[in-house]
Amino acid sequence: MTNGLVTEGKNAMARTSLRCGAWAFAFSVFMAAPQPGYAADGVLKLSSTVHGIALDENNQPIVLDETNIARAQAGMIATLRAQLDKASLAQFDAAAKANADKAAGKQGDLVWANAVAIQSLIQKIQPADATTFLTQNLKLLTRYGGLVDKPVDLQDLAAGKPPSFSVLSLSGLFNNGRDTGIFGPFRPFYTYNAKCEAAGVPLPPPLNVTTPSAVWHSAGEQTVSYLEPPVQHPHKYSRMFYYIPADGSGICVANPIIEDKVAHPTSINAFGVICQSIAKPGKPSHACFWDNAVDSMPVSTTHNFSNAAEFNAPPNLPNDNQCTDCHSGSHAYIVMPGTAIDTALGAYDSTHPVANFHSQNNWFTPLVQPTWPQNNYAAYPPGPSTDPNAAGSCGACHGPNGGFFGKTLPKVSGLGSPQDKLFKFCSFILPNFMTGVHDPANYYDGAMKSEAASHPAGVTALYNACHGIFLGSGKPFPATQPAWLVHSNPP
C-alpha cells in the first residue's frame, strides 16, 4: 500500500533498495521512471551542492527538478534513518507516516514533510557532518520553492511557519509536537566577519543585483561554467559584480546565478562572494568566502552577506562545498581566466598600478576550516622530469617555484595530506584549462588549451599528480575525457 511518502508491506520492503525495513519514501505522485545511475526506486544521493549545481554520488552534475529533489530527499532520509536505534526507528516511522497522511499526496506538502523528517533525523542523530545535511536539506527545500515560484523565507521557518507552498503545520518527529519550529534560529556570523576584517580582507557591502549601489559594479555576464555542460541549464544567466573599497585594501567579487532566466527569471539559485586582500609589506594576502544558504532568493531583494538567513560562511559552510577545493592558486579568482572575473581584476589593476593582482605575488591564506584545502604554497619534492614541478613542466613556470610571474597553480597531490587533495580543482578546473572544447559532448572551455600541445608531459604529470599517480609507477594514466578523474579511484 502506498500512502504519500510511505511505502508499506512486505512486497515493498523486498523491492526497495533503501534496505531500511518497513519504511521508505515512494514519491509515487511525481516520480519519473528511474534513470541510469539511480537505484531502482529512484533514490538519489548527492555528493555536493555548489554554485547552484548538484552532483550525484558519482560526482556528475544533475538538474534539481521536482523529481530529483524528491529522490535526493529520499537518499538523505535513507542515510540518516539507518543510524537510528530500534526504539527511535519505531517512533520516527510512526510520526513520518502521520505526516505523510496529512500530506495526502500533494507535492508541496510531501516536500515539506520530507524536509521536516530530515531535519528531525539530523537533530536526533547529530551526525558527524551535520552541517552538510542541514545545508542540503535547506537547499532542496528552497530550490523547490523557487521552482513553484513560492520562495521560502528561512525566518518564517525558524518561527515555526510552513513554507508558502504548503498548508501543513508540522513539528519535529521526536518531541511529540512540543516545539514550534525545528529550523533555525539563523543568526548573523559576525565572528567570521570580524576575523576577515582583522586579516585585512574587505567585507562585501549589501548588493541588489537589479539596481547595484554606487560601490558595486558589473563585470558582465559569466558565460563559462566549469561544473556542468551548457545543455544542462541552457537558459542559465550568471553575472559578475565587483566591489573595490576606497582604501584599495582588496576586492570582492560576487556571482549571482539564475538557473533558468526563461521559466524562473526572478529567482537567484546560487550566490557566491569571495573577498581577497592585496598583499602588503609585512601583511600577506587573505581571502574570505560567503555562499548562499538557500537555493532560491528573490532577484529584486537587497542581499546582506551577514544575514545568516540567506548566506553561510565558515565555519557554517558544509564540507560538500569546500570553497578552496576549487579556489586555490596565486589568487582566489585564478580558476576562471579569460572570463568576466578578469574584467573585475582589471578594474582593480587599472586604479592600483603599483601593487595589484598581476604585478605582484598575492598568494593567499584562506580563512576556512582547517580540514579544508589550505592553498599550500610549499614546493613539490624533487623528482624526475615527469614531476609536475620539475624543469620543463607546467609547474616549473606556474607552480610554487615558478618565479615572480609564476605561482599560479596550487600544490596538488593525491598522495599528500587531505589539504592537498583538491578533488574539484583536479576534476573540473584543470581539465577546463587544458582542453578548450565547447560542445555538449565535451563541455570544458578553458584558457590553457595550448599547454596540452606545447607541454604534453607536463600536463600528464599534473593530471597524474591530481590522481595520485606519477609516471613510472606502472599504473596507466586514465585517458577518458572529460571525466578522467571522476570515474577513477586513486590507488
pLDDT in tens, 70-101: 999 999 999 999 999 999 999 999 988 888 88
More confident residue, 287 or 409: 287
pLDDT at 216: 96
Residues 200 and 76 placed together within one structural domain of the fold: no
Structural domain total, the chain: 3
- Please give the Cα distance from 197 to 288 (Å, whole number): 10
Residues 195 and 293 placed together within one structural domain of the fold: yes
Asked if the structure places residue 113 within a domain, the reply is: yes
> Is the pTM higher than 0.85?
no
pLDDT bin (cut points 50, 70, 90) of residue 371 is confident
Asked if the structure places residue 21 within a domain, the reply is: yes
Asked if the structure places residue 168 within a domain, the reply is: no
- Quick one: average pLDDT of 329-339? 80
More confident residue, 240 or 330: 240
Give the residue numbers spanning the domain of 447: 376-491
Cβ pair 491, 458 in contact under 8 A: no
pLDDT bin (cut points 50, 70, 90) of residue 469 is very low
Side-chain-facing half-sphere of 380: CA atoms under 13 Å: 33
Cβ pair 375, 364 in contact under 8 A: yes
Asked if the structure places residue 221 within a domain, the reply is: yes
pLDDT at 61: 78
Residues 222 and 346 placed together within one structural domain of the fold: yes
Which range, 10-14, 112-116, 127-131, 150-154, is most confident? 112-116
Residues 242 and 361 placed together within one structural domain of the fold: yes
Give every CB contact of residue 20 below 8 A, 6+ residues apart in sequence: 78, 81, 82
Residues 282 and 312 placed together within one structural domain of the fold: yes
- Please give the Cα distance from 260 to 246 (Å, whole number): 35
**Parallel/antiparallel/unpaired status of strands 285-292 and 311-312:** antiparallel
Is the model's pLDDT at 165 over the cut of 80? yes
| Final residue before a domain boundary, out of 331, 346, 366 | 366
More confident residue, 405 or 224: 224
Residues 287 and 247 placed together within one structural domain of the fold: yes
pLDDT at 463: 64
pLDDT at 328: 87
Residues 396 and 341 placed together within one structural domain of the fold: no
Digit-coded pLDDT (tens) for 39-67: 445 688 888 887 877 888 776 778 889 99
Residues 327 and 442 placed together within one structural domain of the fold: no
pLDDT at 431: 65
Residues 403 and 274 placed together within one structural domain of the fold: no
Digit-coded pLDDT (tens) for 172-219: 787 644 444 567 666 655 689 999 999 999 999 999 998 878 899 999
DSSP 291: E
Span of 169-178, 274-283, 307-316, 379-388 with lowest mean pLDDT: 379-388
Residues 131 and 273 placed together within one structural domain of the fold: no
- Please give the Cα distance from 422 to 483 (Å, whole number): 15
Residues 147 and 219 placed together within one structural domain of the fold: no
Our separate counts of H helices and E strands in the chain read 13, 14
- Please give the Cα distance from 454 to 465 (Å, whole number): 19
pLDDT at 391: 53
Task: Supply the Cα-derived Rg of the chain in whole angstroms.
Answer: 23
